[in-house]
Chains A and B, each alone.
Chain A
Amino acid sequence: MASKVIHAIYNDDDILMNAVKAVRKEHYHIDEVYTPFPVHGLDKAMGLEDTRIAICSFMYGCVGLAVAITMMNYIMIEDWPQNIGGKPSFSYIENMPAFVPIMFEMTVFFAAHLMVITFYMRSKLWPFKKAENPDVRTTDDHFLMAIDAGHHNVDEVSKFLSDTGAIEISLHDKEDDH
């Protein structure tokens, strides 16, 4: 028997937040919540793990800094030393202040771009990707909570969900491939 998922639709973020808390209290498993805008505190209410993107960002920044240092050392000191403003470029450390803006920009550039790419890959987003969104109204003004039906009694769960303020409840087969 294919596994089933219950879609509960809400039309207010506060009601949704309370519903999420209530559902978790009953130990039903929330697969995903689709919202038209970021709902503050929803990740904590759903019990999602903290994002690790900050650590990635730090590492990417370090890579950018290292690239900038190596690059400027190669360009300005080793490959083609130039005398700019009476500061002959025979020593990296003595010319370092001039390279600080480049070091800063490369750090920011690497951290920002690689972070965005990481986010896209982690969220499985790429061009021509089919939307995972189960209901188009979640891009407008509705909130959708997908609950794993599992071995629960579907009628009981539906009753419980409508008590939490859901305006629409429906049962679907789980799409296996996404």
Chain B
Amino acid sequence: MKEKKVMKERITKTKNNTNRRTKRIATDMEMYKLPNKVRIFAIACMLLGAIGFVTGYALTPKTIEDVKEIEASHHGDGHGGGHATTDSHGATTAHGGDHAEDAHGGDAHYEHVLHQMQNRPWSALYIASFFFFMIALGALAFYAIQHASQAGWSPVLFRVMEGITAYLPWASGIILILLLLSVFHVNHIFHWMDPELVNPESDHYDKLIDGKKGWLNTTGFLIRAVIYLAGFNAYRWLSRKWTLNQDTATDNRWFKKNFKLAAGFLVFFIYTESMMSWDWIMSFDPHWFSTLFGWYVFAGMMVSAITVIAMITIYLKSQGYLDFVNDSHIHDLAKFMFAFSIFWTYLWFSQFMLIWYANIPEEVTYFVTRIEDYKLPFFGMLAMNFIFPLLILMNSDYKRVNWFVIMAGIVILAGHYIDVFNMVMPGTVGTSWFIGLPELGSLLFFLGLFIFIVFTALTKAPLLAKGSPFMKESKHFHY
């Protein structure tokens, strides 16, 4: 009786609720409805992003003459170290005695820059799509860890994680299309795909890349891509289906099946994630290699994914949903953000210090180009991904302050976008980088798509995975 009355009151309250500051509390089983402003925001992001990207793409120089014009207009701008070297390079050829060689040298330079500039919008698109792919995949791995470890604290967050992983099929499709475009030479962001490089007769023959032909060939590349993506998506599809089954089940059958599936997936994931990062990121610098690269990408993936889980949870709570999530859950997510930020830095430094100390030319060029041509993003992202979260999230109390977590999250996400940027751009566009229309446009587009897909997926099932046998423990979780 009393409950009914309370419910009635609550309903009338919401009906009469014109004051937006009054917090509406949703019941446990209430379905999430996609608010119009979220939908409009997502669509606006996609539209603006698409316009930005297309404009950026249209402004890409088509011929060597365009490049010459651009370089002339930027002359004297002091556009960083890269342009300084081009200037000196241009100067030496211009003052060279032999006229014919001079012209040839100059044009070769402009052609090189033209290729870099033509790679730029494609790289920008690739980086943004990969970044959001990373978030969905990282959330999936985190979700699998919760199942495999039978964690007691996290089941209240399962539906948020499932919402984020709902983006995975979309991200996979987009990545696959982009990889296909590269394989069929629509763009040239993967330098090693040029068949000239492995042809011993050619002028461009590259012995190192030829030596890696066994792994770095387009057929194997595509087959592997399909295997990775099929595996990730199969786990995502099955685990989602089985947790939904568990909601209405009378025993723990689906829970047990999910446990076994998660354990199996994690084994598959840790191998394929490593190989995926070699294929899709490390091969942008085909001469270079690092043995912990897979872990490095993994750390960035996990910290971004957990940050997004925390941010979406806080957002849904602020809208009156997820009443069963208490500040200890937020605290734990923030601890994970903090810990994985440290872990990421640890791997970043382990990779950097060995290469810096050994100073082997074929390895050290990777960091030399980044420090010389990408000084600001390179050191900037270190500050954003390490020093900022270290100082902001160290204090135990701050981890429970929602706006602190959101602030730290925004900086961490921006930092890890720049991290991916730093991993891809030097290998594809070299010194011709800038964060402009194509980069911001594609980032905005995928942000909009991500928000749209994730929040739509959240409406598809109750926000509480009530079938989980750990639900009671999770609801009472207390730090």
The interface of chain A, by Cβ under 8 A from chain B, is 41, 54, 58, 85-87, 97-98, 100-101
- Measured between beta carbons, the chain A residues less than 8 angstroms from B356 are 97
Size band of the interface chain B makes with A? 10 to 19
Residue B478 at the chain A interface, CB threshold 8 Å: yes
Distance between A151 CB and nearest chain B CB, rounded to angstroms: 36
Which chain A residue lies CB-closest to B358? A85
Contacts A54-B396, A58-B394, A85-B359 given; indicate if A97 touches B352 (C-beta within 8 A): yes
| Interchain CA distance A120-B359 in the complex, whole Å | 47
Cα-based distance from A56 to B254 in the complex (angstroms) = 47
> Is B349 an interface residue, CB under 8 A from the partner?
yes
State in angstroms the CA–CA spacing of A58 and B349 once bound together: 22
Q: In the complex, which residues of chain A have a beta carbon less than 8 angstroms from the beta carbon of B357?
A: 85, 87, 97-98
Q: Please state if B359 and A86 are interface contacts (CB–CB under 8 Å).
A: yes
Q: Report Cα–Cα, A87/B394, bound state, in Å.
A: 35
* Residues of B near any A CB (own CB < 8 A): 349, 352-353, 356-359, 394, 396, 478
In-complex Cβ contact of A100 among B353, B358, B394 (8 A): B353
B478 to chain A: which residues have CB within 8 Å? 41
Residue of A nearest to B349 (CB): A100
Residue of B nearest to A101 (CB): B353
Residues in B neighbouring A101, C-beta threshold 8 A = 353
A117 to chain B, nearest CB (A): 22
Q: How far does the alpha carbon of A20 sit from the alpha carbon of B394 in the complex, in Å? A: 32
Closest approach, in angstroms, between the C-beta of A1 and any C-beta of chain B? 43
Q: CA–CA, A114 to B384, complex, Å?
A: 30
- CB nearest neighbor in A for B354: A97
Q: Which residues of B contact A58 (CB under 8 A)?
A: 394
Instruction: Find the B residue at minimum CB distance from A84.
Output: B357
In whole angstroms, what is the CA distance A171 to B247 when docked?
55
Bound-state Cα–Cα, A58 to B391, Å? 11
9 tightest CB-CB pairs across the interface, nearest first? A97-B353, A97-B356, A85-B357, A100-B349, A86-B359, A98-B357, A54-B396, A85-B359, A100-B353
Which has the most chain B C-beta neighbours within 10 Å: A41, A54, A97, A98?
A97
Q: Which residues of A contact B396 (CB under 8 A)?
A: 54
Residues in A whose Cβ lies below 8 Å from that of B353: 97-98, 100-101
For A100, list chain B residues within 8 Å (CB). Answer: 349, 353
Bound state CA distance, A86 and B358, in angstroms? 9
CA–CA, A54 and B399, complex, Å: 14
Minimal Cβ-Cβ distance residue in B for A44: B478
Min Cβ gap A13→B in Å is 15
Q: Which residues of A contact B358 (CB under 8 A)?
A: 85
* CA–CA, A98 and B356, complex, Å: 9
Task: List 14 additional A-B contacts (Cβ < 8 Å) besides A41-B478, A85-B357.
Answer: A54-B396, A58-B394, A85-B358, A85-B359, A87-B357, A87-B359, A97-B349, A97-B352, A97-B353, A97-B357, A98-B353, A98-B357, A100-B349, A100-B353
- Smallest CB separation, B81 vs chain A (Å): 18
Chain B residues in 8 Å Cβ range of A86? 359
Q: How far is the CA of A41 from the CA of B478 in the complex (A)?
A: 9
11 interchain pairs, CB-CB under 8 A: A41-B478, A58-B394, A85-B357, A85-B358, A87-B357, A87-B359, A97-B349, A97-B352, A97-B353, A97-B356, A97-B357
